[in-house]
Amino acid sequence: DSGVTQTPKHLITATGQRVTLRCSPRSGDLSVYWYQQSLDQGLQFLIHYYNGEERAKGNILERFSAQQFPDLHSELNLSSLELGDSALYFCASSSENQPQHFGDGTRLSIL
């Protein structure tokens, strides 16, 4: 158990819809990262939050947004969903200069 909790584990929805993925970091970790794992793109960094503030953006679509709340949990919002958004979405957390520990991921399927 990595200590990083992601919910839900699975999500099935239709094109055009909007979903929210949730992540609770390990106790004491201020940094939260979101990654997308798809068959064609591999593992791609989306966004990094540190103590509530956005620190870095990767290949994140404009239809996607994220935030980190005062209790340090984070949410990734995906809107106007397309078939190509089907993927495994990982959240990871870390302390300063420590390795990232990953949650079990949310598998998103777009029908």
Partner 1 sequence: AQTVTQSQPEMSVQEAETVTLSCTYDTSESDYYLFWYKQPPSRQMILVIRQEAYKQQNATENRFSVNFQKAAKSFSLKISDSQLGDAAMYFCAYSIQGAQKLVFGQGTRLTINP
Asked if residue 73 lies in contact with residue 101, where contact means CB atoms within 8 angstroms, the answer is no
Binding mask 18-57 for partner 1 (x = CB under 8 A): -------------x-x-x------xxxx--x-------x-
* Residue carrying structure tokens 């598998």: 107
- Beta bridge partners, 60, equal none
Sign of CA dihedral 17, 107, 41, 68: positive
The stretch near partner 1 (CB under 8 A) out of 11-19, 20-28, 71-79, 96-104 is 96-104
Binding site for partner 1 (CB under 8 A): 2, 31, 33, 35, 42-45, 48, 56, 58, 88, 90, 92, 94, 97, 99-102, 104-105, 107
